Amino acid sequence: MNNSSTIRGFARESLSGNWLNAVLAYLIIIGIISVVSTLQVVTWIILGSLTYGLYLYYIVLIREKAGDFNLLFKAFSFSEKNLGLFGKTLGLYLLMSLYIFLWTLLLIVPGIIAAYSYRIAFYLMIDNPEIGVSEALKQSKEMMYGYKSKLFCLDLSFIGWGLLCILSFGIGILWLSPYMLTSQTIFYEELRNEHILTYEIKDKDINNKEEMASKVDEIVK
């Protein structure tokens, strides 16, 4: 896997010509969350689906060099093909939050480790939509074994940008967040590619990059 600097470079290449759309996608999600934030229950119900949509948008942005804002609301499409997706994204978000919360009750550090262990669960559900909530979390934990520190270092590499956001009175977050999301997605792409030859996703016979990419194509259609 490439180092943090190289991953950030790839992220900038992916965002080249797509910065505005990437920022708008982020703003749409943040705007929705801000509107419903006064209704905590509603926020918890829809946050999983919004996270799924945002991650799907950035995956397509990286793989196809273009994004579609409709992808942000894919989990809210109750077509026959997407039936049950809203419930799965809700379940994934709630169960992930519960696990992280329980580990945090012990100590802060175990909670942070748990958060990094489950960081790619939504990506895995996007690439492999037929797996369940528990399986997505399990696979995320297995794939992140030995890579949590790499993702942690990638996050730390944005500290300087974070300071600039503070100096810009928060305006810079509009560019930093898409930058970080793109870098995180590229991290997942590289991790996935490393596992394609050595790791078979359980309950499915997906063992090459082309087949996994086709799964996303099916979701997008």
What digits encode the pLDDT tens for the residues 77-111? 876 566 688 999 999 999 999 999 999 998 899 99
pLDDT of residue 206: 47
pLDDT of residue 46: 92
pLDDT of residue 212: 61
Could you tell me the pTM of the whole model?
0.84
pLDDT of residue 201: 46
pLDDT of residue 67: 78
Measured distance CA(204)–CA(195) in Å, rounded:
14
pLDDT of residue 135: 95
Given a cut of 70, the residues of the chain with pLDDT beneath it are 79-83, 197-221
Please give the tally of structural domains in the chain: 1
Residue 140's domain comprises 4-220
